[in-house]
Chains A and B, each alone.
Chain A
Amino acid sequence: MFKWEKLGRIFNPSEVKDRPWLKEYAQAPATLIFDDFVRVYFSCRPEPDENKQYTSYSAYVDLDRRNLTKVLNVSDKPILELGKSGTFDEFGTYPVSVIRKGIGVWAYYAGWTRCESVPYNVAIGVAASSDQGKTFKKMGDGPVISYSLDEPFTVSGPKIRKFNSTYYMYYISGYKWEKFEGRAENIFKIRMATSEDGINWSRENRNLIDDKLDINECQASPDVIQLGDKYHMFFCYKYASDFRNNKDRGYRIGYACSDDLINWVRDDSQVGIDVSKEGWDSESIAYPHVFSVDGNTYMLYLGNQVGRHGFGLARLVDLK
């Protein structure tokens, strides 16, 4: 079992000034480690428009590598522009996951478009940085992983990893849209694909993680790390309906392990982290990202309202 010590919220977007595109939310943290700092990418939003619709951007904060609760720097501008008219990422780039490739950095991100019958659709794009991850240039106007026969919509939440010279993409795909009291809610499951070059992907085409709540369980943020001789996945899950204001139906963090990166055994009893009794992460915890640096393993995660008020950090203190 994992045992985590919560170090508290380390970034609150409402404290950032002079960045109208970073008004609230700091969602889906993902790290890139530098010599002196740890860059944490996240996704944020300006004020909603007159129709109360949001766009989302991705940005980063740099944390002091010797003291990860200390923010050194917040990016001056978003790392990616929104897409052109009619493209898959016209209304949002959220979340983002980065990996070093050669001397550059590649970012995989979920692009959001708006639909008529349902609120949105999502596909995964790819972009490259030649300035150490400060800004990224898209490799095309379209997605690198789009909708497919078995994954009809909401191909989202990419997490890029490389093991044994193969690229692994863990992501989610929509399974169905279901109307609850007239509101269309998306139900999504954890999927994966592999690639030798990061551009051409082969999908596994099956759900990796068994449902725990019910068949409409929504699963997100499949974050994989190798610790010892096993692969570990931390993810989050919630009910499909009535999850926004009912704290018993919002996101919790789940866990699965694997020997081969493909076959996963879910065992949430091992996860070792839950909502706090009070405070910023008392209603829900979501979008885990686990990383190791300087001999310690940490989890970044979101609190109430899926990161509206920022993200926090926990340190792994025991693993049995």
Chain B
Amino acid sequence: MRFKELGKIFDPTEHELDFSQSPQALVFDDFVRIYFSNRKKDLSGKYLSHISYVDMDKNFKTILHVSDKTVMRLGNLGCFDEHGIFPMNVLWDGDRVLAYTGGWSRRTSVSVDGSIGLAVSSDKGETFMRVGEGPVLTSSLSEPFLVTDPFVKKIGEEYHMLYIYGKRWIDGPNQKERVYKIGHAFSRDGITWSKTGLQLIKNKLGKNECQALPTMIKIGTTYHMVFCYREAIDFRTNKQNSYRLGYAHSEDMINWIRDDSKLILKRSEEGWDSQMMCYPHLFECDKNIFLLYNGNEFGRSGFGISILEGL
């Protein structure tokens, strides 16, 4: 996949926001709504992630509107999404919009756990209501924690989800660090999910490679997946270990061939995405395929976009 960079299109600091992570598109007739997570500190000084959106024209040059409040409240006391929603993956379902959420809840021996929730919007994606207080996809026998980063597509009569699941927590120099991989689940109704139970993407950096935020698009008969990956340790500020984008393709969504060299979109030498590239999101708009993604510091300074030029 050969992409042409169109550059950074949204800077949260220009809108009194901190972070704009994991941009995800909902395409309307004459604009594109891009959801993202921004962070606010709570009384304890820790971050809480909330979902906002920006409406952009279809050239991705003009900002039409930035939401002035979050699209859904965080979860209730003790719930899986009490301490943040990040990311939120949206798709049209008739007149409704479905949102699959990555919900975060803090732990004591490790920093967090995560599960996937479902919320629905009846007002074109301006506000969302939870379908239930609990998650639709969470830990299981072989996926013990950190089930998150949902990306859902309806293909034929079936819903398919790419997501990540925790594999292990390992000792880092200052704290426990997590290792996670990409999985697949499917559903007839979008609510009750069955896990395939496979690690879809082979490790490139060793067994503790962290693979995150899968996104997928079908072109012809082939599914194309873009994701981000990094080392498990010293990944926050060390450019050698930090997130970059990976690529895999498949004919059946279960068997994937990883070939990162086929993704022609590399980190810049300098500037907003020179240290890190992460949280990719593929979508189609007016017959073009676009890739949204974050740059340095996990999207602290915004997100950019690129357009597919060829396969």
Contact = CB atoms under 8 A, between A and B. Distances in A.
Given A140-B144, A142-B143, A142-B145, A86 B110 contact: yes
Contacts of B106: 115-117
A121 B118 CA distance: 21
A117 B37 CA distance: 22
B105 A86 contact: no
B142 interface: yes
A153 B145 contact: no
B140 A143 contact: yes
B105 A146 contact: no
Interface in A111-128: 113-118, 121, 123, 126
Given A86-B178, A152-B133, A147 B80 contact: yes
B301 interface: no
Interface in B119-170: 131-136, 138-146, 166, 168-169
A176 interface: yes
Contacts of A141: 141-142, 144
Interface in A212-242: none
A115 B108 contact: yes
Given A86-B178, A141-B144, A149-B134, A117 B77 contact: yes
A140 B178 CA distance: 18
Q: Which 10 A-B pairs have the closest CB atoms?
A: A140-B141, A142-B144, A152-B134, A149-B132, A116-B106, A141-B144, A177-B78, A86-B169, A86-B110, A152-B133
A115 B78 contact: yes
A76 interface: no
B76 interface: yes
Contact of A87 (B83, B138, B145): B145
A153 B103 CA distance: 13
Given A86-B169, A116-B107, A149-B118, A174 B141 contact: no
B20 interface: no
Nearest to A115: B107
Interface string A72-83: 000000000001
Contacts of B83: 116-117
A116 B145 contact: no
Contacts of A123: 139
A148 B133 CA distance: 8
Interface of A: 83-88, 90-91, 113-118, 121, 123, 126, 139-144, 146-154, 174, 176-177, 179, 184, 186, 199
Interface of B: 75-80, 82-83, 105-110, 113, 115, 118, 131-136, 138-146, 166, 168-169, 176, 178, 191
Contact of A148 (B105, B138, B143): B138
B118 A118 contact: no
Contacts of A116: 83, 105-108
B131 to A, nearest CB: 6
* Among B78, B139, B140: residue with most chain A CB under 10 A: B78
Contact of A85 (B76, B105, B109, B142): B109
B188 to A, nearest CB: 15
Nearest to A113: B107
Given A115-B106, A115-B107, A142-B141, A184 B78 contact: yes
Nearest to A125: B141
Contacts of A87: 144-145
A152 B169 contact: no
A233 to B, nearest CB: 24
B140 A140 contact: yes
Contacts of B107: 86, 113-116
B166 A86 contact: yes
B79 A153 contact: yes
Contacts of B169: 84-86
A151 B139 contact: no
A154 B80 CA distance: 11
26 contacts: A84-B144, A85-B109, A86-B169, A87-B145, A114-B109, A115-B106, A116-B105, A121-B105, A141-B141, A142-B140, A142-B145, A143-B139, A143-B144, A146-B138, A146-B140, A147-B80, A148-B132, A148-B138, A149-B136, A150-B132, A150-B134, A151-B134, A152-B78, A152-B79, A152-B132, A152-B133
Contacts of A147: 80, 115, 134-135, 138-139
A86 B145 contact: yes
A151 B134 CA distance: 6
Contacts of A84: 144, 168-169
Given A115-B78, A143-B144, 6 more contacts: A117-B105, A118-B78, A140-B141, A140-B144, A147-B80, A174-B78
A197 to B, nearest CB: 12
B272 to A, nearest CB: 33
